Chain A
Amino acid sequence: AQTVTQSQPEMSVQEAETVTLSCTYDTSESNYYLFWYKQPPSRQMILVIRQEAYKQQNATENRFSVNFQKAAKSFSLKISDSQLGDTAMYFCAFARGSNYKLTFGKGTLLTVNP
């Protein structure tokens, strides 16, 4: 079974600074997808960024980028120029196969301080 581990239950950062959230996963599959979802206090699950395992290039979405290390099974999220609105729970998730069932990590609570 696949597992997703987020080793940082909580993190904080000052506004405008950069922060990196860690995620590792365990799988024997070669083709899969990785995601970061954001859950603000409104509790809505919002897709931040996605990465296909077969692509070597790291995904980037505006201030959000990932460092995907396939051999190390690591998928970290970097948030640049942190904003107060980035305060949220962040979940790393893994999906494989044709059913695309998502396996989630336990989340990292990020607080951006003014």
Chain B
Amino acid sequence: DADVTQTPRNRITKTGKRIMLECSQTKGHDRMYWYRQDPGLGLRLIYYSFDVKDINKGEISDGYSVSRQAQAKFSLSLESAIPNQTALYFCATMPAGGEDTQYFGPGTRLTVL
């Protein structure tokens, strides 16, 4: 079974709809991250969390919100989706100490019509 899972893997929605992307991990890592990938732009950080009570904005947090329901779960919400939020979204995890490498989920492709 994959260590970092994301649901759904693909989603098409309409402008103005609220949508939630979910990330779960079995790696036991404390730190979790949400990134967005656009063609030609690489990945950019949306939000990150170091534990259940810690939420931090990344460089492109406008239009997004997150929830850290448990150590293993970190959800990304688009309150009112717009077409320029069409992108590939990645969740990543990292242990709190020692190893300094982020491990990525398989990604969610979101299309906003």
Which residues on A are within 8 Å of B, measured CB to CB? 4, 33, 35, 37, 42-47, 50, 52, 91, 93, 95, 99-102, 104-107
Contacts and interface: CB of A to CB of B under 8 A. Distances in A.
Contacts, number: 54
A46 B92 CA distance: 11
Contact of B31 (A4, A45, A100): A100
A6 to B, nearest CB: 8
Interface of B: 31, 33, 35, 40-45, 48, 50, 56, 58, 88, 90, 92, 94, 100-104, 106-107, 109
User: Which has the most chain B C-beta neighbours within 10 Å: A37, A45, A46, A106?
Assistant: A45
In terms of DSSP, what is the predominant structure of the interface of chain B?
strand
B42 A105 contact: yes
A47 B50 CA distance: 21
Nearest to A43: B107
Contact of A106 (B42, B45, B106, B109): B42
Nearest to A98: B50
Top-9 shortest CB links A-B: A104-B42, A45-B104, A104-B43, A106-B42, A43-B107, A101-B45, A33-B100, A44-B106, A105-B42
